[in-house]
Structure 1
Amino acid sequence: MSAANTPLPGWVTFFLMPLLNLVTALLISGLVILMIGQNPLEAFGILINGALGSGMGIGFTLFYATNFIFTGLSVAMAYHAGLFNIGSEGQAYVGGLGCALVALALDNYVPWYVTMPFAVLGAALFGAAWAFIPAWLQAKRGSHIVITTIMFNFIGAALMVYLLVHVLKPAGAMSPETRGFLPGGQLPSLNWLMAMFGSRLGPAPLNVSFIIALVMCVGVWFLIWRTKFGYSVRALGLSPSAATYAGIPYARTVILTMLLSGGLAGMMALNVVMGSADRLQVEFVAGAGFVGIAVSLMGRNHPLGIVLAAILFGILYQGGAQVSFMMPQITRDMIVMIQGLVILFAGALEFLYRPALVRVFGRRQMARA
């Protein structure tokens, strides 16, 4: 049996292997920082302190993590069915249109807690709708889901720019964005949550969508591992031919899975559109859909792992900004490089340590069996 197929204990697969990949990425990043004449320990200290050393830093870290939880869940949902959804970026972008339209329609009439469920539904429906055509093409025509979802990212971006410039922009405004939402269309801050721990958010935009993201994690876990549909999804991901032979409808399962995946991506817009900017702007997704791929892979496509990986990338985003400010020699581009190394080892080099771990733990587990 090859190293890729040899079973390993769950804690090795879900905790030890990602930890080794992360440590390797940080060590290589430290060597690069050392080569430019800077102290890597000082840089990593500033990174951690900037991300976790204050209520404001934690708030920004969790704000970024909220985006990555939604997009990571989106990628994982499709991945369990053997589908590689690269379109979370575009689906989140179009999902922003759904929640913005709800906020624009209701913010002057009802409080935020009435607007919020309709905005969640609007964002999910618009994101799912943007995933429908690639899903249908995969299920009915055999078009590869990777190609179609990538292309729909660009189509979605062009559509949103057109709408923001020519349709949704208020008369006389210069920026391609909608009008600002009134309080009835704004998600409240979670400053009360930080106050429970004796801290304050300050200007950090952490909002109620973080709680919605955690609820979605529980929902995805229940759907995938505790329902008949989830069993069908996992069976299809393991072997499409065997699942079809067993009576699982291929086309329906693929389409429903992609609709759920697109809906989860669309809900990412709540965090930025209604929780931070309080308006729909151009390029508000800012690459979160693509980071979600790495978050899903590093989290082993499990909601708990996705939450931990999303927080890690939130730390890299917030702490990285602090490092580039406190140590100007370490530019923002170098911070992006560190993030790229984490993505590389979490994704492309996922099995770097697997052969060695199989030699240590795999044989022991097989002997017990």
Structure 2
Amino acid sequence: MSAAPVDLPRWADTALVPLVSVAAALLVAGLVVVGIGESPLEATALLLRGSLGSAEGIGFTLYYTTNFIFTGLAVAVAYHAGLFNIGGEGQATIAGLCAALACTVLGALPGFLAAPLAILAAAAGGALYGLIPGWLQARRGSHVVITTIMLNFVAATLIVYLLREVMGKAGSMQPETPDFPASAVLLPMHKLLAPLGLKLPATPLNSAFLLALAALAAVWLLIWRTRLGYAIRTVGANPHAAAYAGISPARITMVAMAISGALAGGLAVNEALGVQHRLVLDFTAGYGFVGIAVALMGRAHPVGVGLAALLFGILYQGGAELSFDKPAITRDMVVVIGGVLILFAGALDGLFRRAVAVLLRVGRRTG
């Protein structure tokens, strides 16, 4: 017998429950740190200092955050339509291939044309690869979870073949494309802000971060301020009621997955156009899967996704510095801490919702 659903105020569901989940996860992570003989307070201080204690650390943190914003939003949009898109890795991979092809073809164009067209090519490639599982579910009944998993493997195989046999850099021992033309790459943030008198250290942070912030605002407007967003939320809440109201669940499924794939393409924009300036193998580096946790922790709301992405950005950058300063806390240990966060934000979500509901009831009685 399943437990009755827990009703919470919107503010508690979107802010308090994730906060309690994160606090509990960090408590468990602290116990792990104690178990290996280190101080959790010192480890936390080093993690925060490494991620937020310097301009360079902040630059790296926001670079990671950019990736998590795009992949988190990709999962969030599909989630509002009642879909669970776990194909962000594959969609970003195809987006990277399309961006690389665009850079090759459009490299002779001036920068104000080449870079935007390369970004659009990445978005189009991700959208197409997201549309395929959306179409398969809408028209053929194939579950989107299964098809996105399988398409991840297809994309991973395809990029290996293309980088080795078709698009690879001549004479290179690594599977990678030639460097993109300078007109097609994104400006690093330290160069972008230099004319304003801001002297920042060189980091991977680039103008894709501004695109990620714009994507947060655009998704908020889409989901809560447009007819399409209303249709997406209606289909996600009750597809039968949506069909009765004249909304086509099949069409919304395909549209939502296409938008989701386009957002996942932002990962390729940040990595390929903004940092590597070429396409390399495994550039997705698991960011697509972490985006699932970001969306769940952020309650599929752009504000929550942005904050959760920042949290994982802090963990990634601070964890790298922590493992350097404290060799006993290895990089694998930091991955374990991230896994605990994902576990608490996802699998144990219902437990914390009930705990928060009990605390709110107690607070009302005592108040």
Q: How does 1:1-369 map to 2 (within 5 A)?
A: 5-111=5-111, 113-191=112-190, 200-361=199-360
Q: Distance in 2 between matches of 1:220 and 1:239?
A: 21
Instruction: Please give the per-residue CA displacement for 1:343-362, whole angstroms capped at 9, x wherever unaligned.
Output: 11111111222123223436
Instruction: Please give the per-residue CA displacement for 1:94-134, whole angstroms capped at 9, x wherever unaligned.
Output: 111111222222334312x3222211210111011112221
Q: Distance in 1 between matches of 2:314 and 2:197?
A: 21
| Range that drifts further, 265-274 or 350-359 | 350-359
Q: Distance in 1 between matches of 2:86 and 2:121?
A: 21
Q: Distance in 2 between matches of 1:60 and 1:346?
A: 24
SS state of the match for residue 81, structure 2?
coil
SS state of the match for residue 276, structure 1?
helix
Report the TM-score, using the length of structure 1 for normalisation: 0.94
Q: CA deviation at 1:202?
A: 2.1
Shift in alpha-carbon separation, 1:60–1:6, aligned structure 2, 3 A: same
Shift in alpha-carbon separation, 1:319–1:184, aligned structure 2, 3 A: same
Report the TM-score, using the length of structure 2 for normalisation: 0.94
CA contact (8 A) 1:209 1:275 kept: yes
Q: CA deviation at 1:6?
A: 3.9
Shift in alpha-carbon separation, 1:291–1:200, aligned structure 2, 3 A: farther
CA contact (8 A) 1:9 1:361 kept: no
Q: Distance in 2 between matches of 1:215 and 1:259?
A: 18
Gaps of 5+ in 2: none
Instruction: Please give the per-residue CA displacement for 1:131-168, whole angstroms capped at 9, x wherever unaligned.
Output: 22211110011111100000100000000110000000
Q: Distance in 2 between matches of 1:58 and 1:193?
A: 16
Shift in alpha-carbon separation, 1:333–1:182, aligned structure 2, 3 A: same
SS state of the match for residue 266, structure 1?
helix
Q: Distance in 1 between matches of 2:225 and 2:300?
A: 16
Q: Which amino acid aligns with 1:73?
A: L
CA contact (8 A) 1:73 1:217 kept: yes
Q: Which amino acid aligns with 1:104?
A: T
Identity %: 53
Q: CA deviation at 1:204?
A: 1.1
Q: CA deviation at 1:195?
A: 6.7
Q: Which amino acid aligns with 1:74?
A: A
Q: CA deviation at 1:364?
A: 8.3
CA contact (8 A) 1:54 1:199 kept: no
Q: Which amino acid aligns with 1:76?
A: A
Shift in alpha-carbon separation, 1:83–1:325, aligned structure 2, 3 A: same
Q: Distance in 2 between matches of 1:192 and 1:3?
A: 54
Shift in alpha-carbon separation, 1:199–1:45, aligned structure 2, 3 A: farther
Aligned Cα root-mean-square deviation (Å): 2.0
| Range that drifts further, 101-110 or 137-146 | 101-110
CA contact (8 A) 2:6 2:353 kept: no
Q: Distance in 2 between matches of 1:267 and 1:356?
A: 36
Shift in alpha-carbon separation, 1:49–1:4, aligned structure 2, 3 A: farther
Q: Distance in 2 between matches of 1:198 and 1:115?
A: 27
Q: Which amino acid aligns with 2:188?
A: S
Q: Distance in 1 between matches of 2:308 and 2:200?
A: 22
Q: CA deviation at 1:191?
A: 1.6
| Range that drifts further, 72-81 or 184-193 | 184-193
CA contact (8 A) 1:62 1:206 kept: yes
CA contact (8 A) 1:46 1:323 kept: yes
SS state of the match for residue 348, structure 1?
coil
Q: CA deviation at 1:10?
A: 2.3
Gaps of 5+ in 1: none
